[in-house]
Amino acid sequence: MTRKVRKPAPPTRLERENTNDTIYERIYTAILEHRLPPGTKLVEERLAEIFGVSRARVREVLNRMAHEQIVDLYPQRGAFVAKPSIEQAHDVFEARRLIEPAVLRRLIENLTPERVARLRQQQELEIDARRRDDKRAIVRLSGDFHMLLADLAGNSALARSMRELSSLTCLIIFLYDAPTATTCRADEHSEIIDAIAHRDAPRAEKLMLEHLQHIEGSLKLDAASDDVDLESIFKT
């Protein structure tokens, strides 16, 4: 007697629509827009239900995000949106100060009118978000500007590095935001674009370093002392 082989069920509409890349981008955007704060638990079963896919598919996406340091994976505990430490925050800004001037130099060496236009278009989106006071969009678009610089520079390794560093910066801003903190000032982006358009690499690099310093300097990245003066706390 011939045994019938059961054919796998055809993929549902949600499964067809929600590819791994789609799921990744939706989670990634939610993190960048601070809708998923640092430390949020990303429950595989719940995400699988939301996206209409298997837990294995969700696990693949979370593993990818963990590789990019956007998500932390803990055995027996699951996946959580990353919570960069103060030391990691300083490391991120140090890396950006080394990488972004190189991005600018390469972009200016390979500059075209079309690339300048792309930067101007991106800046218009950010200005519009600020006009609407859409804080989530401002955070995302500010990070997108720096990633676009790397994409237009034409070096895939630099682009990957900038994507990771920009994502971590968004998490850092959420964690260590001071009352006066800013993601990125729109006027500073405009000045950087102007320097690029004029092919003035030294000025573009100088503006970028000042820009990164302004962001880092507006955050509360002073490590708290481990020594607690109990007497001062309980003194009456």
- The answer to whether residues 76 and 113 belong to one domain is no
Distance of CA 68 to the CA centre of its chain: 10
Domain-ending residue, one of 23, 53, 81: 81
Give pLDDT tens digits for 81-133.
Answer: 999 999 999 999 999 999 999 999 999 999 999 999 999 999 999 999 989 98
Q: Which residues pair with 81 in a beta bridge?
A: 71
Asked if the model's pLDDT at residue 1 lies above 80, the reply is no
Q: Given this model, what pLDDT does residue 72 score?
A: 95
- The answer to whether residues 116 and 130 belong to one domain is yes
Q: Which residue has the higher pLDDT, 2 or 54?
A: 54
Whether residue 4 is contained in a domain is answered as no
Domain containing residue 153: CATH number: 1.20.120.530
Domain-ending residue, one of 30, 59, 81: 81
Q: Given this model, what pLDDT does residue 15 score?
A: 54
Percent of the chain with pLDDT over 90: 66
Asked if the model's pLDDT at residue 148 lies above 50, the reply is yes
Percent of the chain with pLDDT over 70: 83
Q: Would you place residue 234 in the very low, low, confident or very high pLDDT band (cuts 50, 70, 90)? A: very low
Average pLDDT over residues 12-19: 61
- The answer to whether residues 32 and 94 belong to one domain is no
Q: Would you place residue 16 in the very low, low, confident or very high pLDDT band (cuts 50, 70, 90)? A: low
Domains in the chain, number? 2
Q: Given this model, what pLDDT does residue 2 score?
A: 55
- The answer to whether residues 58 and 109 belong to one domain is no
Q: Would you place residue 6 in the very low, low, confident or very high pLDDT band (cuts 50, 70, 90)? A: low
Give pLDDT tens digits for 177-201.
Answer: 754 444 566 689 999 999 999 999 9
- The answer to whether residues 119 and 190 belong to one domain is yes
Whether residue 175 is contained in a domain is answered as yes
Q: Given this model, what pLDDT does residue 230 score?
A: 43
- The answer to whether residues 96 and 210 belong to one domain is yes
Domain containing residue 58: CATH number: 1.10.10.10
- The answer to whether residues 105 and 77 belong to one domain is no
CA distance 196 to 191: 9
Whether residue 223 is contained in a domain is answered as no
Highest mean pLDDT among 8-12, 32-36, 105-109, 221-225: 105-109
- The answer to whether residues 75 and 110 belong to one domain is no
CA distance 155 to 40: 33
- The answer to whether residues 191 and 130 belong to one domain is yes
Whether residue 222 is contained in a domain is answered as no
- The answer to whether residues 43 and 142 belong to one domain is no
Average of per-residue pLDDT values in the chain: 86
Query: What is the residue range of 96's domain?
Result: 86-217
Which range, of 13-22, 32-41, 222-231, averages the lowest pLDDT? 222-231
Whether residue 1 is contained in a domain is answered as no
Whether residue 230 is contained in a domain is answered as no
Query: pTM of the entire structure?
Result: 0.79
Q: Given this model, what pLDDT does residue 179 score?
A: 47
